[in-house]
Amino acid sequence: MKKIAFLLPDFQEGGMPKVASNIMSGLGDSYQQYLILLDSNSDIRFETNAEVLRVCPKGDSKVGKAKVFLDRINIVKKIKKEHHFDIVISFGVAANIINIVSKQNDKTICTEHNIKSIENKTWGFFGRVYDVLIKKFYTKPDHLVAISKVMKEDFIGNYNIKGNIEVIYNPHKISEIINRSYESLTEEEQQLFTDKVTLINVGRMTYAKGHWHLIRILAELKKEIPTIQLIILGQGEMEQSLKTLAERLNVQDSIKFLGFQSNPYKFIRNSDLFVMSSLYEGFPNVLIESLACETPIVSTDCKSGPREIIDEAKDIYKIINKYEVCKYGVLTPQFNGEIVLENTLLSDSEEEMKKAVLKLLSDKELYNKIQQEYKLQALEYDVENMVKEYKKIFN
């Protein structure tokens, strides 16, 4: 039996551990599985039957982080020598570089989960370092996997990576999502939705997710729909700033910050719309989950992923300045990236998202037409289909 190792920074939050967990599940017993965690203090919050191998704790300062990075290369190299893996698949730039540099006789597969030319700009010094490392090393793995077509174009256009780049969308356990979405709400949870029009967003409260736009838009929507509310599932460093903004706009009673939820799907299914305000993404899992939960979507047309999911034509080169009704939801113009935590007029892009929300909530024929496409479309991204693509490169 072949040995496969999954190399990740941690296994406790975000999209990458979920994707890795789903691939592991899809492979079943056909491989002997290992999970290598760069952060030895990481919790295990996602399903896995793999043998867990921990590397070392995080560093604190810039110097400490640099030292830890070098230490991790050496430790992973020793782990590879000891276990003789056939395949090592890594997730995200730090794990990818370590996977490449520590290569032994294993087939090295690197997966990337965000638009690096955008994301790295938000990481300051280390982002600039990663840009250099990507250009130097991302031509070296046996396979490089991008999770969207836009991401592949980013590698070619901004990093001059000309090698064979595979595009494999993130795998999802669609049947499990559907089943869990029908789990009963508690009495307290039912009260959240009673006599309310509910918008929902699921995502860490970070700059990339642009939640301040949703709060500003909600304040304007309440003038036309007094019963409207916003539920946000997730945690993150911007949480207090967002709560302060809600108070400043006097909508604190209409926004429910519910933190991490082990079953977000039942909240999504019981909401009227899923609204995504991200400034950039890799391939947003939450939109596939919304398809499975049959909750119509309004999303920014950010780079990358939303258009490939919502627009049947998957026209990744299209740019819009007005909201666009697509087969699987409504796309709105990208936001400009500016953090606005004040009571000011909506930007043009915010105004378009507001209009898109009102359009879907008021046009029941359109709402139902979009909704009825969802369950079948979600199956396109099922684990079984996506793992077949991974097995092709594993073998």
pLDDT in tens, 375-395: 899 999 999 999 999 999 998
**Residues sharing a CB contact under 8 Å with residue 31, sequence separation 6 or more, in sequence order:** 1, 2, 3, 4, 87, 394
**CA pair distance 197, 362, nearest whole angstrom:** 12
Query: Does residue 321 share a domain with residue 221?
Result: yes
Question: Which string of DSSP letters, residue by residue, matches 296-352?
Answer: -EEEE--BSSHHHHH-TT--TT---SS-EEETTEEEEPPP------SS-PPPHHHHH
Query: Does residue 252 share a domain with residue 353?
Result: yes
Query: Does residue 161 share a domain with residue 207?
Result: no
Taking residues 67-73, what's their average pLDDT? 96
What's 32's domain CATH number? 3.40.50.2000
Query: Does residue 308 share a domain with residue 266?
Result: yes
What's the first-to-final CA gap in the chain, in angstroms?
13
Instruction: With cut-offs at 50, 70 and 90, classify the pLDDT of residue 125.
Output: confident
pLDDT, tens only, 179-197: 999 999 999 999 999 999 9
Query: Does residue 331 share a domain with residue 265?
Result: yes
Q: Do residues 323 and 353 make contact, with C-beta atoms less than 8 angstroms apart?
A: yes
In the predicted structure, residue 126 carries a pLDDT above the cut 90? no
Q: Which of 168, 196, 231 is the last residue of a domain?
A: 168
Domain containing residue 86: 3-168
132 CB neighbour count, 10 Å cutoff: 10
Stretch among 12-21, 164-173, 320-329 having the lowest mean pLDDT: 12-21
In the predicted structure, residue 158 carries a pLDDT above the cut 90? yes
* pLDDT for the residue 282: 86
CA distances from 186 to 193, 221, 230, 257, 268 (A): 11, 28, 19, 17, 15
- Give me the number of domains the chain comprises: 2
**CA pair distance 82, 71, nearest whole angstrom:** 17
* pLDDT for the residue 61: 84
**Does 394 fall in a domain?**
no
Q: Which of 168, 184, 210 is the last residue of a domain?
A: 168
Query: Does residue 281 share a domain with residue 147?
Result: no
Q: Which of 137, 168, 199 is the last residue of a domain?
A: 168
Query: What residues pair up with 359 in beta bridges, in sequence order?
Result: none
In the predicted structure, residue 34 carries a pLDDT above the cut 90? yes
**Does 208 fall in a domain?**
yes
* pLDDT for the residue 190: 97
**Does 385 fall in a domain?**
no
Query: Does residue 359 share a domain with residue 217?
Result: yes
**Does 389 fall in a domain?**
no
Query: Does residue 219 share a domain with residue 87?
Result: no
104 CB neighbour count, 10 Å cutoff: 14
Taking residues 254-275, what's their average pLDDT? 97
Query: Does residue 217 share a domain with residue 188?
Result: yes
pLDDT, tens only, 191-215: 999 999 999 999 999 999 999 999 9
* pLDDT for the residue 164: 81
> Helix (H, G, I), strand (E, B), or coil: what is residue 265?
helix
* pLDDT for the residue 299: 98
